[in-house]
Amino acid sequence: MKRKILAVTFFIGLLILTACGNTEGESNGGEEEKSEPSNKWEEIQEAGEIVVGTSGTLYPASYYPEDSDKITGYDVEIVKEMAKRLDLNVSFEIMGIDSMLSSVDSGRIDLVANDIEITDERQKNFAFSEPYKYSYATMIVREDDLSGIQTLEDLEGKIAGGGATTVFSQIAKHFGAEIKTYTNVTNDVYLRDVENGRTDLVMNDYYLQSLALEALPEIDVTLHPDLRFHPSEQALVMQKDAEVFHEKINQVLTEMREDGTLKELSEQFFGGKDASTPPDKEIKEIEGLDL
């Protein structure tokens, strides 16, 4: 794995990140005025392209390789292939996670592709495609003592590095952890802070954390060997009432799953792992937490 991961921002939850996981600024409208209702699919066909909101900084979902101005990533390449099969062009608008959902709601963009997790709350306001990634949460801890964490209940009083409003921070706070927030720093900063004791853990998506550790083997941190929790599904996001567009997207995703394209792209970007199907491990559900 190239060390290019150092050049991209590690969005804790979005990543995430999705991840991928921001929970503020998601109600209808946000700071933008919502456009009048229209047939989204007809608009897209007339324009001849799909306009997609993405971060360009979330490795390996959406990023710019070192010394390149061409965006790529698992989510990005899925959308490129979808557009090709729909005989459309695709353009990417780079924006922060807080802007993506309000922009799709207002009609400024047609689709969000950025490792966004499907949640009940988001489904009240947006339509999601069929999942193209299945994952779960884990945590990076110190290698010598696992940061004193054996169970999720041991998060009480610990310090978790992450975004203030992410799904992962919600989980950490639910178990009594304090959240230390950052502004656009790279992977090594998060991991070094765990190593030197400024924080105790970084909670995030399993696949994203695995890649971060592979890129930075010199830092004495590790994935917790026993804690796997909060199973998640990631999907493309579009306007709630874009019914025909929604149907078209799902048709193409089904084709890509059946012909092996999703598996091939996943293995390309996730170090040979197939994230396009649910994991075969037992994953703990978090109870008593409304995400």
Q: Where are the domains of the chain?
A: 3-269
pLDDT band at 290 (very low <50, low <70, confident <90, very high): confident
Q: Say whether pLDDT at 97 is over 80.
A: no
| Residue 38: per-residue pLDDT | 55
Report whether 272 contacts 69 (CB < 8 A): no
Residue 192: φ, ψ to 5°:
-65, -35
Which architecture characterizes domain 3-269 according to CATH?
3-Layer(aba) Sandwich (3.40)
Whole-Å CA distances, 281 to 7, 20, 166: 32, 22, 24
Mean pLDDT, all residues of the chain:
87
User: 90: helix, coil or strand?
Assistant: strand
Say if residue 36 is exposed, middle or buried (CB neighbours under 10 Å; 0-12, 13-18, 19+).
exposed
- Output the pTM of the full model: 0.78
pLDDT tens column, 45-83: 999 999 999 988 888 999 999 899 999 999 999 999 999
Torsion of CA 248, 117, 272, 3, to 10 degrees: 120
Pairing state of beta strands 126-128 and 221-223? Answer: unpaired
27, pLDDT greater than 60: no
Task: Please give the share of the chain, as a percent, with pLDDT higher than 90.
Answer: 69
The whole-angstrom separation of Cα 180 and Cα 117 is 22
Give strand pairing partners of 51.
Answer: 91
